[in-house]
Amino acid sequence: MSTDIRVKICGLRSPADVQVAAEAGAVYGGFVFFPKSPRHLTAEAATPLALEAPPGLCKVALVVDADNDLLDHILGRVPIDMLQLHGHESPARVADVRERYGLPVMKALGVAGPDDLPQIDLYSQVADQLLIDAKPPKDAALPGGNGLSFDWQLLARRKYWQRPWMLAGGLTPENVAEACRMTGARQVDVSSGVESAPGVKDAGKIRAFVAAARGVTGARGAPPKLV
């Protein structure tokens, strides 16, 4: 059995969420700063969650096309370890955020078909990590967390990119092991797949998801290093 698969539980909104994610073995905990999301937190609400997070949990701030004023506001209050840019940020903007704040940056990229894959190589030149997610429908209000997956075969025969990457989109405790085996992913992200209702995390599902991911055998390559 391999325990090298790293798990990110995104959309944490309470002390209990954070504690369960950490105790279950998640390596990353995500806080969403996007008002349209049912998982949205203000900087003021996220501060005590981040301060009380157990040591070893990488605290990730998810933002969508955030300007510097918003990032200044969040990072001036919340002890964050990594920024996740989940909007339409250009490679230049990713590089600018990374340089300005001195934090590792994860760029989320939506995939629906083969034409979406070249952007991964492009952003791997400027981001510290990549999150490969299902591309949202054109009329979707949210850029992620929609519970949608994409054709994992698109990634099955890909060479490794220059940066560590994370698989997201429609993952659940029931399918995460298959997703890792098909894609070779060594990191996975989940939000709606471990909820009992939008924005409401389910402790049992979190534990089941982490256990299923960490029980994967035969995944390709070495586990990524945390940045």
The model's pLDDT over 101-156, given as tens digits with 9 standing for 90+, comes to 999 999 999 988 888 888 999 999 999 999 999 876 565 455 544 455 677 888 87
**pLDDT value for 223:** 46
> How many residues in total does the chain contain?
227
The fourth-level CATH superfamily of domain 6-214 is Aldolase class I (3.20.20.70)
Q: How confident is the model at residue 11 (pLDDT cuts 50, 70, 90)?
A: very high
Q: 10, 17, 128, 189: which is the annotated catalytic residue?
A: 10
Mean pLDDT of the 200-211 span: 97
CA distance 222 to 158: 16
Kind plus residue range of the DSSP H or E element containing 216: none
**pLDDT value for 7:** 97
How does pLDDT run across 76-89, given as a tens digit for each residue? 999 999 999 999 99
Q: 17, 58, 128, 133: which is the annotated catalytic residue?
A: 133
On the question of pLDDT at 199 being above 90, the answer is yes
Best CA proximity match to 3, nearest among 220, 214, 217, 224: 214
- Is 10 noted as a catalytic residue in this protein? yes
In the numeric block, which tokens belong to residue 193?
Answer: 């797949």
**pLDDT value for 146:** 46
**pLDDT value for 153:** 81
- Sign for the pseudo-dihedral over CA of 171, 177, 178, 179: positive
Mean pLDDT of the 3-29 span: 95
The helix-helix angle for 43-51 and 68-75 (nearest 10°) equals 40
- The domains of the chain are located at 6-214
**pLDDT value for 162:** 79
- Is 180 noted as a catalytic residue in this protein? no
CB-based burial label for 147 (10 Å; 0-12, 13-18, 19+): middle
On the question of pLDDT at 10 being above 50, the answer is yes
Q: To which residue do tokens 């982490």 refer?
A: 210
3-state secondary structure of 155: helix
